[in-house]
Amino acid sequence: MSVWNHLLCRPIMSFVHKKCRNVEVPYLGSQIHRVNVPDDLVKWSREWVEYTPPVYTDQKVHGQAWSDPEINDARFKPAWNSIDGKINRVSYVCQYSFDTKTLCPLNPVGRTGIAGRGLLGRWGPNHAADPIVSRISDDGHLEFVAIQRRDNGEWAIPGGMVDAGEHVSQTLQREFAEEAMHGVVDKESLKELWSNGKELYRGYVDDPRNTDNSWMETVVFNFHDSEGLLKNVALQAGDDAKALRWIQVDSKEPLYASHSHFIDLLKASHST
């Protein structure tokens, strides 16, 4: 697999993704296993002539309003690395490159062991937003709202995908309402909370859905409830979640994708 264009990436891309290279289990919702990619061959800059990953795009992705056509569809003429109508195809971390044979965008962090889009709708970056709603508990511990995902049972920040044409600030509030308030948008009670958000992260996510050609990126905001606003708001897991609870930042609870890293950023922001 050859690379077209030079990867103009920020220093943050020096890390090696791991959760999207797991060969112990099939790719989510499939029987397809990833090719094992050693740490020293993750980067596209390392030549690997024999690299032939399986190509997989889940059938649930095809024909959806939130997904792209196949890369070889003659009607598909995306504006890569740009705002493409209502779709943001700009990566938060770099100007991504392309495979010279397939013309597919290439994951800026490197090989994942599987090509195609997997469960992701967009070729290239798929943008999400993750609101970390936090508070100090009655016994003095910093804690945050977490939901238990239905697909794998892992605990996670209640975030989700940015809709086409939607501003990230709208996504943050909508996703928290859908995932942690059972769809009830309580704008008035939480107006003060939403007006005092602090950005903690903007970039790549080591997500198990990532492939060589489609990957997750997110913006993480912390909304800290220092006034006890949430005491009068009913928190309830949405349809996509099995359960909801407050988790202490020092609990060492295993979290989904890169969410443990985001909680470390939350801890650091409240320790200064």
Do the domain assignments include residue 252?
Answer: yes
Whole-angstrom distance, CA of residue 4 vs CA of residue 97: 6
Considering the domain boundaries, does residue 91 fall inside one?
Answer: no
- Calculate what percentage of the chain has a pLDDT beyond 70: 92
200 part of a folded domain? yes
C-alpha torsion sign, points 71, 76, 80, 83: negative
Q: Are 120 and 31 in contact (CB under 8 A)?
A: no
Average pLDDT over residues 205-223: 96
| Domain that includes residue 213, residue range | 127-270
Q: Is the pLDDT of residue 7 over 60?
A: no
Quote the number of domains for the chain: 1
125 alpha-carbon distance from chain centroid: 9
pLDDT tens for 121-146 read: 999 999 999 999 999 999 999 999 99
CA atoms of 96 and 84, how far apart (whole Å): 15
pLDDT at 232: 78
> How many Å apart are CA 111 and CA 211, to the nearest integer?
8
The amino acid at 111: R
CB atoms within 10 A of CB 35: 17
pLDDT in tens, 176-202: 988 888 656 566 778 889 999 999 999
| Residue 9 pLDDT exceeds 70 | no
Structure tokens at 115: 């090509």
pLDDT for res 183:
59
Question: What is the Cβ-side half-sphere exposure of residue 264, based on CA atoms within 13 angstroms?
Answer: 7
Cα 103 to chain centroid, rounded: 23
Mean pLDDT over the full length of the chain: 91
Average pLDDT over residues 40-66: 96
Confidence (pLDDT) at 2: 52
DSSP-derived pairing of the beta strands 124-136 and 214-224? parallel
Q: Does a structural domain hold residue 236?
A: yes
Average pLDDT estimate for 209-214: 98
Q: How far apart are CA 213 and CA 241, in angstroms?
A: 28
CATH of the domain at 194: 3.90.79.10
